[in-house]
Amino acid sequence: MHPNHHDVFRTLAEAEVRERHATEAFFDAWKHGVALAGVRFFGQGTREAFDLARTKWDLCPNVGLIKKAIGPMSSGEKVFLAALVSFYDAHDGGAMLRRVGVQGLSDLGGLDAERREVIASLLLHYAGW
């Protein structure tokens, strides 16, 4: 039995709602992560730009700045920031994660609960950058 056009439209509408929810949930988690990691490393690097951000594109990580600044940070700060970069750019983020000593996902367990929750939410709602 073939679905009728009403079923097809309903399925498409439901998929659109799920995608919109995932996009919004990802951005909410991303913005929370940016606030925890430091707004200076994302987008234009200002609190004003952070407050005005409406999409993940407004808060892209400044990978060059992060690479320069990451050295003297605490282990947790390094791991969290590198994990955020990995959502934006798997190649640079993966290299950064290795550089800060992350061998696998279980190493993210060393982060505090708030940061683990941000990473978990980003993973759950990630649909590509």
Asked whether residue 30 is domain-assigned, the answer is yes
Kindly state the tokens that stand for 96: 């950064």
Asked whether residue 44 is domain-assigned, the answer is yes
Range(s) of the domain holding residue 68: 22-125
pLDDT bin (cut points 50, 70, 90) of residue 15 is: low
Asked whether residue 6 is domain-assigned, the answer is no
Q: Give pLDDT tens digits for 65-89.
A: 999 999 999 999 999 999 999 999 9
16: number of Cβ within 10 Å: 10
94 or 19, greater pLDDT? 94
The CA distances from residue 104 to 23, 33, 97, in Å, are: 26, 20, 9
Asked whether residue 117 is domain-assigned, the answer is yes
Query: Domain total for the chain?
Result: 1
Asked whether residue 104 is domain-assigned, the answer is yes
Asked whether residue 11 is domain-assigned, the answer is no
Q: Give pLDDT tens digits for 21-72.
A: 789 999 999 999 999 999 999 999 999 999 999 999 999 999 999 999 999 9
| 112 contact partners, CB below 8 Å, separation of at least 6 | 76
